[in-house]
Amino acid sequence: MEISANQSIDSIAKIFLKTTQSTLKTSTGKEINYANTIQKITRVSMMPDLTCFVQFGGDYMGLVIFNFSDEAAFEIYRQYMINMGMPEDELATSISDPEVTDTIGEITNQLMGQMIKSVEEKYDLNAYYGQPKALTISSAISLSINDTYTENRRLSFKINNYIFRIEIAMEDTEFINVADF
């Protein structure tokens, strides 16, 4: 069975939905919900307030951007640290605290590891990813991978009604199952 380029990125996006939901639920102890719609977008952007991006390559390549509102980033940070046993009175009190961006970067690293593993299990394709870069920004910045033919998707999530999004840019690629020949 041949999977078209659109279906390939959508398949990766669905893996991101499940992986993000499962990984964050485990690490925060909170329900993570995702929208039932995957959006096709023209480009990916880092958005305010806290953003984290990471490039991946290997058998397939792309760029992933995690965009968090202040509230969503702080809630994920807070619940993650409490779930790890950190006393509430020792937690950062502001999104500008480096501990928050460091924690979001670490969580992004865990999400990427799980995503890469899930794609390998499903498609027998390997990839690697760089160190996630987390930062706070006040205005949007568009990014692109070094490929003129990309597909882009946006995924929306909620934790305690705080919204965060994942934007994926992936080379125009088709996954073709060899067993179908």
Q: Under a CB-based contact definition with an 8 Å cutoff, are residues 66 and 164 in contact?
A: yes
Q: Which CATH number is 2-176 given? A: 3.40.1550.10
SS3 of 16-30: HHHHHHHHHHHHHCC
pLDDT band at 3 (very low <50, low <70, confident <90, very high): low
- Global pTM reads 0.92
pLDDT in tens, 85-144: 999 999 999 988 999 999 999 999 999 999 999 999 999 999 999 999 999 999 999 988
Q: Which of 162, 143, 151 is nearest to 68 (CA)?
A: 162
